Chain A
Amino acid sequence: MTAQAPPDLPGRTATAGRARNTRARLGLTTSVAIVLAALVVVCVASLLLGSRHVPLAALFDGDHPDHVFMEARLLRTGVGLLLGAAFGVAGAAIQGLTRNPLADTGLLGINAGAAFAMVVGITYLGASGFSEYIWFGFVGAGLAALGVHLVASIGRGGATPAKLVIAGAALTAALTSWTTGVLLTNRDTLQAIRRWQIGSVAGKEQDVVLTALPFVLAGIVLALASARILNALALGDDLAKGLGRKTGRDRAVVGVALMLLVGASVAVAGPIVFLGLLVPHLVRMQVGGDYARVLPFSAAWGAALMVGADALGRVLLPPGEIEVGVMIAVIGAPVFLVMIRRGRLGSL
């Protein structure tokens, strides 16, 4: 039976999360209002901006000649929202899981696992077309996460954050090398893969998205439900166990959420790393360290940023487009650096 938290410490986990040295700078309602406003703005922008100017009415009017085009934009916006939320939440979860503010979704070898599996699938197993190799990506990401967890669990202490991070980095090293090895000898695979590697939410077919959708949603739900777990883990293993949590099982739960989330998202959109690294820091600055808040806000802001960056990428260099992966890195990196310089990084 699960041990309950001691009865005289009812809100302990939540308070502890909040009490960890970061006080919310804005009230909750204000923060919600801001992020909702941001979401609306970027969604509208995403529908309206682009190399072609198409009136919004085209979306609702089935007979308008640009209706299909607008539907595609709507899909693109939807994909951006969904995957942006996924990356945002996953980033927060991974930083909480590894207690390391450097952690990003690529850290546990997930991105590298997806890439390697896809490359193998394309080169040796004849996968063609995105809807086929997305499965490889998904499976590869999942196996990588599992593998990292297994390796980190060996030895004393089990899967501590430090060991997870090192195992992840080591696995990334291995997988990246093997991937490069295959790519060097297979021009076609390189051709197929290199567009994926930048990270983009454009041009994804509906059935691809629908395939990924259930996994991403399941992952998001599971991650959001892990707020308590992450708050407890943030206190450190000993304290978490003292509060009655089974840290091994808790980590596994978060791990599964990450597998689903990141596996599917990376397979669809490519390894968009920076979102998961940056968004949680911004969110923590705004709403504090309590994961019950950090997770949903990370999802929301991740979505907003993704869609916003995508829209921006469409208007910067007309008539061409800059992929969202590039935009996020190019915008995000200076913002990140400025934040660090000003010492305004929300602590973990």
Chain B
Amino acid sequence: MTALDETTTASPRRTAPGPDIERVRRARRVPRRRHGVVLLGLAAAVTTLFLVNLLLGSYTFTLPDAAVLAFGGDIGNPTAAYIFTESKLPRALLAVFVGLCFGAGGAVFQTTLRNPLASPDIIGISTGASAAAVVALLTFDLRGDAVALAAAIGAVATALLVRWVAGGAGGFRLVLVGVGTGAALLAVIHYLFSRAAIWDAQLALRWLSGSLNDADWSRVRTIVIVLVVLLPLLWWSAAALRVTELGTDAASGLGVTPRRSELLMLVAVLLVAAGVAAAGPVAFLAFLSGPIARGLNKGRTSIAGAALVGAAILLGADYVGQYLIGGVKMPAGVITGAVGAPFLLWLMARGASGRSPR
């Protein structure tokens, strides 16, 4: 199929063949097939990791037992049942959903801004969420859901602030403003850190690294609602996303104005805000998922792939952090950065992780 003649460069005038629709169909299928394979593989990975998180650990369950418990049955061991239904199951589910949020949100940002560095955790939105949460934790002594809410508000507020300051020009200016805002907010965080009591500082640090410790059914429900509303919006805009990759002018020429891209980013911000509220700003999850998905998909952007990668990473990181670090429970956020980043570097070494445009 690819035995193409190199002399197609400077073609002398020859009678051009007619349109070859069959060829177009075949050619379109190849990348789609690869994409399908990638998605399938990722879905399998997510499922496996989900089961690992669910069934293994300090308490192990067999699959049939798990199935029974998941549907409200009884296996004669009330303690184990309680742990399963109130801790392990919601935690594993939350990991999947939060991972989807961060993965998709990050990838949308990186695509519409055409810059792999332009993910919410690098352009200040996660930092805004963190700053709000740290203020809530250290200055107002709040805990739990109040902190989660503060974080979500912080994320959205920072995004709006960045958008307002950067104006409608989009793209480069937006990222620049985001980085500047992030740096300022980070200073605020460090300042509060330095002034707080040491125990509070450690508590705040734990929240800041992103963890699933506070997983419960109410959080799962909230994030499912958010996903149910936002994911279809994303799927609907998938085509527009592909067009924004071509550059602002080309995209406008095809009917996708910068305003449309901004709406897409708003959806992404909401996804990230939901993730942050549920699990804190899981370090670099939004940043890594997109490039990793692209690396697997031969350099082509894949939002669905990024979402699944996010879920997989978070599931894996949570498991590792809970059970595989000798004697110590690390929050998932510590692991995501530690593990995801080398993986990205490996992909980069293979030369296939997607570059930022000139």
Contact = CB atoms under 8 A, between A and B. Distances in A.
Interface stretch (B38-46, B52-60, B214-222, B337-345): B337-345
Interface residues of B, number: 57
B16 interface: no
A115 to B, nearest CB: 12
Contacts of B349: 151, 154-155
Nearest to B211: A184
Interface stretch (B75-83, B179-187, B230-238, B239-247): B179-187
A174 interface: yes
Contacts of B191: 198, 322-323, 326
B255 interface: no
B338 A178 contact: yes
Contacts of A31: none
A301 B333 CA distance: 38
B120 to A, nearest CB: 13
A170 interface: yes
Given A166-B116, A173-B288, A174-B338, A337 B177 contact: yes
B208 to A, nearest CB: 8
Interface in B53-79: none
B183 A183 contact: no
Contacts of A154: 348-349, 351
Interface centre among A102, A151, A325 (most CB of B within 10 A): A102
Contacts of B227: none
B105 interface: no
A77 to B, nearest CB: 22
Interface stretch (A21-29, A52-60, A185-193, A255-263): A185-193
B306 interface: no
Interface centre among A152, A176, A195 (most CB of B within 10 A): A176
B184 A277 contact: no
Interface stretch (B95-103, B135-143, B165-173): B165-173
B122 to A, nearest CB: 7
Given A181-B330, A195-B194, A329-B186, A171 B202 contact: no
Contacts of A167: 345, 348
Which label, helix, strand, loop or mixed, suits the secondary structure of the B interface?
Answer: helix
B203 to A, nearest CB: 10
Given A171-B341, A177-B337, A340 B180 contact: yes
Given A154-B349, A185-B328, A177 B181 contact: no
Contact of A151 (B122, B338, B348): B348
Contacts of A187: 198-199, 202
Contacts of A156: 351
A274 B187 contact: yes
A329 B179 CA distance: 12
Interface string B104-123: 00000000000011000010
B80 to A, nearest CB: 29
Given A184-B205, A326-B187, A340-B177, A173 B341 contact: yes
Given A173-B287, A176-B283, A323-B191, 7 more contacts: A151-B349, A162-B356, A173-B337, A180-B205, A180-B209, A199-B190, A278-B180
Which 6 interchain pairs have the tightest Cβ spacing? A177-B337, A329-B187, A333-B184, A155-B351, A174-B341, A173-B284
Interface of B: 116-117, 122, 165-167, 173, 175-177, 179-181, 183-184, 186-188, 190-191, 193-194, 198-199, 201-202, 205-206, 208-209, 283-284, 287-288, 291, 325, 328, 330-331, 333-338, 340-342, 344-345, 348-351, 353, 355-356
13 contacts: A155-B351, A160-B355, A180-B209, A190-B202, A273-B186, A277-B179, A322-B191, A323-B191, A323-B194, A325-B190, A329-B186, A332-B184, A333-B180
